[in-house]
Amino acid sequence: MSNRLINWFRFASPHTFYPLAGKMIPWFWTLAAVFGAAGLWLSFFVAPTDATQGEGYRIIFIHVPTSWMSMFIYMVMAGWAAMGLSLNARLSSMMAQALAPTGALMAFLSLWTGAFWGKPMWGTWWVWDARLTSELILFFLYLGFMSLQASIDDPRRADKAGAIVALVGVINVPIIYFSVKWWNTLHQGASVSINKSPSMAATMLWGMLLMALCLWMYSIAIALTRVRAIILEREAHTEWVKHLKEVSP
């Protein structure tokens, strides 16, 4: 047991994690490509045309997984940030920093595809639906996290300040979601709801799950690539970085 623990903690150092991440990245890219190909094939060629929504519904195969990922990445990011804050582990904070842009991208894609889906289905690009609104606020939280980190020069201070923002955000995400939900039900202008969708065909569900796995693998691959860049940037003064093949001239 203790042996395993030591092995795990060994990779908490940027020096040991950098080559490990380098080895893992191609695997995650491959998995992302496989899941993506299978998911796209299933969702565009196999899944039946929806009776009420026509072909346009296929956008949910991108939309739903990006929404899931945007929320999930925020949780993971906050988890890494908390670990970085409490254990004072540099690599954890770097992971949080590396995840933020991907999370923001997912939130943006989710909003964008949602607008494209809403136009033919609801006849409008945007409704003040509870989910849309809270997704928008989640996007703002990502932007706040990234701009706070970007505007602090000292990386360690940026890590810690960012961690506090991420943690405060994590407490607030459910509050914001429920407040927006109640607000929406009280106003109830356009009575649209994503909940009332008819029971989904099994192939649709599989398509969605495969796309979610694809985005998951993509997020891991891209976050690892980014964390490698962050490691190089921050550890540029160390000996091991200077001796790396890709750095030395």
Q: How many angstroms separate the Cα of 188 from the Cα of each of 114, 151, 184, 192?
A: 19, 40, 6, 9
Residues 181-200 that bind other proteins (CB under 8 A): 182-183, 186
CB 247 within 8 A of CB 241: yes
CB of 42 or CB of 130, closer to other proteins:
130
CB of 34 or CB of 161, closer to other proteins:
161
Closest to 66 (Cα-Cα) out of 222, 218, 215: 215
CB of 147 or CB of 238, closer to other proteins:
147
Closest to 116 (Cα-Cα) out of 72, 65, 58: 58
Residues 58-97 that bind other proteins (CB under 8 A): none
Tell me if 170 contacts other proteins by CB under 8 A. Answer: no
CB 138 within 8 A of CB 111: no
Q: Which amino acid is at 7?
A: N
Closest approach of other proteins to the CB of residue 126, in Å: 17
Contact segment (CB under 8 A) with other proteins among 17-25, 149-157, 194-202, 205-213 equals 149-157
Beta carbons within 10 angstroms of residue 26's beta carbon: 10
CB 101 within 8 A of CB 140: no
CB of 153 or CB of 239, closer to other proteins:
153
Q: 11: which residues sit within 8 A by CB, 6+ positions away?
A: 17, 20
- Choosing from 36, 79, 101, 144, the residue that interacts with other proteins (CB under 8 A) is 144
CB of 25 or CB of 148, closer to other proteins:
148
- Choosing from 160, 170, 200, 206, the residue that interacts with other proteins (CB under 8 A) is 160
How far is residue 91's CA from residue 76's CA, in Å, rounded to a whole number?
14
How far is residue 111's CA from residue 105's CA, in Å, rounded to a whole number?
10
- Choosing from 141, 215, 220, 222, the residue that interacts with other proteins (CB under 8 A) is 141
Closest to 98 (Cα-Cα) out of 80, 124, 85: 80
- Choosing from 3, 7, 52, 151, the residue that interacts with other proteins (CB under 8 A) is 151
- Choosing from 167, 170, 194, 232, the residue that interacts with other proteins (CB under 8 A) is 167
Contact segment (CB under 8 A) with other proteins among 27-35, 37-45, 172-180, 234-242 equals 172-180
Residues 7-26 that bind other proteins (CB under 8 A): none
The site for other proteins (CB under 8 A) is made up of 137, 140-141, 143-144, 147-148, 151-153, 156-157, 160-161, 164-165, 167-169, 171-172, 175-176, 179-180, 182-183, 186
